[in-house]
Structure formats: C-alpha cells, structure tokens
Amino acid sequence: MSPIRPALDALCAEVSDLSARLGRRVDPATLGVLDRTGHLPLAPPDLMSPNGACRLVRAADGWLAVNLAREEDRDLVPAWFGCDVGGEPWTLIEAHVGGHARAALIDGATLLGLPAAAVGETTAERPRALLIRMAAGGARHGAPNVLDLSALWAGPMCGAILAAMGASVTKVESVRRPDPTRTATPAFSANLNGAKTHLVLDLASQVGQADLRNRIADADVLITSARPRAFAALGLDPAAVFDLNPGLVWTAVTGHGWTGAGAARVGFGDDTAAAGGLVRWTPDGPRFLGDALADPVTGLAAAVGTLQALEQGGGLLVDAALARSAAGAAAICRLPRAA
C-alpha cells in the first residue's frame, strides 16, 4: 500500500468525477500508472531513495536531497563544490556538503541544473495545480486533441488519463532525446503511453520546430515537462503560444513551478518529494517514504487541473509543480514537518 494513499485516493476521485463530465469516466488506479513496483529494482526507502539515485545529506543548517538521476548530474558535482579534480560523486558530496548552508547549495545547483532541494522547503494545503489565465479561451467541440511533449512519469500519466477518457493523444518525442522510460522501464512506459499515437520530431531543426508549432496551434491540450527556458529556445513563449491558440490548455509539469525563482530549478520525483515533506522523520533525521512519490501525486494533480481548465474553455496554463504537489500530499497525509 502506498504511504500516500489518502492523497492518491482523493485525487483519483476528482479525476473520476471530472472525466465523467467531459468523456468516459476514468479510474486512474486501473491504468497501472500509480506505482513502479515490479518495473525496476527498488530497495527499501532510507537515506537513499528506492531507485538509488537520490540521497538525503546533512548540510550546515539542515537536510538536503540531492538527486544524481542523470549521468550529467554526476559530472556536475565537482563544479558544484568548486573542486579542481573529480572523484566518486557521493564521496565528494559527503565530504563537502556539511560546510555549506542549504540556500547557497541550492543556488549553485540551480545555476548548474543539478536537482537539489531542502527537505520540507515547500508547503501547501492540498496537492493542486495552479490555473493561470493566459487568454480568453473559447468553445470546444468533440474529444480533446492532446499533444504530449512530456517525459518520465507525471506528465505522461496526465496524458494517459486523458487518453483513457477518450481524448486523442499524440506523444511527441525528440529524435535526439527520447523519453528514457522507453528503454529503462518498457512495460511501465507502455502503461503510460500505449494508448497514444507516437510522433518523433527533430526539434533542433527549423522544420521540426515549425511542425511542432503547427500542431500546437491545432491542439486543445499541450502537456510539457521541461523548464520555461527550454520553450523559449524553441520560440514557444507562452504569450505567443496563447496568441496563436487562445483556447489552449497548457499543462506544464515542472519541479518547482512555472513562475518565480523556482522556474529555473531542475527537479525529479525523489528530491521534490523531500522538498514537499514527503519523508518520515527518525531520531537520526529524515528518511524517504517511497519511490519518487512526487510523480504520481503530480500526475493526478495535473490531470485534475487539465480537466478543470477544459471545463472552463481553455486559455489557461496549468502549473503542476512536483514540490508543491508533494507538499499538498504531505498535508493530507498529516506527515510531521520535522522530527
């Protein structure tokens, strides 16, 4: 049983009610998308996350979650601490992190694009996506046309729920950077993406970018999981996108939110779960509760926000932040904020 079952159950009930009003009723628990158990080796949660990529470490003024989820994250560790030479990344982290305050460490990690978060830094009363009005919206007819540019877990889960509701969902992958779940967890990837049409584009080319813009212009929903600067590089400034398509619902899954200082930060399911307080406290400090718990709660919160935005006629950006969703789940589950 998931340690955040009350939060997941509440969100699943909302998805069920909203999807029934807009298409087919969806019970997300039947889609095989809420849990990765059996799809990859998972150790019991402790100081290290079950997937072995994220670790809780003590800085000078409290606990920090550092996630070396990608090979490039491991390569960034020497630069994070200003080391002249490299070494085993976790050895360097353990040797240096205690001499720095968490805020300074997070600032440095943000500049480098390294996922790091202070335990419990984010608070929220409920796991909710924020709906930001961007355009007037408009009438919609028929099943939603969804363009899913997201990768990994939370964003694709939102797309899977919309597909189960009856939406036409196209999963778009970059030819240069395909979704890692395709090879890392193929059966789980099939649960997330099997009901979608698949399209590969070269987003580094002008032709690929033009094709993407044309598809966004015709979409009812756009799902993404990259930071704002990635879309600026593609010429997809939100204001311009909503001018092009005023009825669009843009569901943006990010680590720490679409706006403000957090928009520049990288975040994944384990470090943002710790940021939101999804940890258990022991006399020796915090420990992980489960596997990348921010992802399933954010996927559900993103789906709820997307369905609400569709009911309102679009013209909305759905800001689904992993850390905020995790904090809301921690509040529902009444988890202590500290030991």
Range of the structural domain that residue 294 is part of: 5-42+123-261+289-332
Q: What is the pLDDT of residue 84?
A: 76
Domain-located, residue 114:
no
- The reply to whether 100 falls in a domain is no
pLDDT of residue 142: 85
> 108-135, pLDDT tens digit by residue?
999 999 999 999 999 999 999 999 999 9
Average pLDDT rounded to a whole number, residues 162-167:
98
Residue 235: the pLDDT is 82
Residue 76 is assigned to a structural domain of this protein = no
Q: What is the mean pLDDT of residues 329-338?
A: 93
The CA distance from 180 to 53, in Å, is: 15
Give residues with Cβ within 8 angstroms of 305, minimum separation 6: 128, 129, 130, 131, 251, 318, 319, 320
Note whether residue 38 is domain-resident. yes
User: Tell me, what's the pLDDT at 147?
Assistant: 98
Residue 178 in domain: yes
Could you read off the pLDDT of 176-224 as tens digits, one per residue?
A: 889 999 999 999 999 999 999 999 999 999 999 999 999 999 999 999 9
Sheet containing 197-201: give its strands across: 130-133, 316-321, 249-254, 221-224, 145-148, 168-174, 197-201
**pLDDT tens sequence across 245-282:** 999 999 999 999 999 989 999 999 999 999 999 999 99
- pTM, to two decimals: 0.97
Residue 36: pLDDT band with limits 50, 70, 90:
very high
Q: What is the pLDDT of residue 233?
A: 81
Residue 165 in any domain: the answer is: yes
Q: 281-295 burial string, b = 16+ CB within 10 Å, else e?
A: beeebbbbbbbbbbb
300-328: pLDDT as tens digits: 999 999 999 999 999 999 999 999 999 99
Question: Number of structural domains, the chain?
Answer: 1
Residue 154 binned pLDDT confidence (cut-offs 50, 70, 90): very high
Q: Is residue 29 part of a domain?
A: yes
Is 19 part of a structural domain of the chain? yes
CATH of the domain at 247: 3.40.50.10540
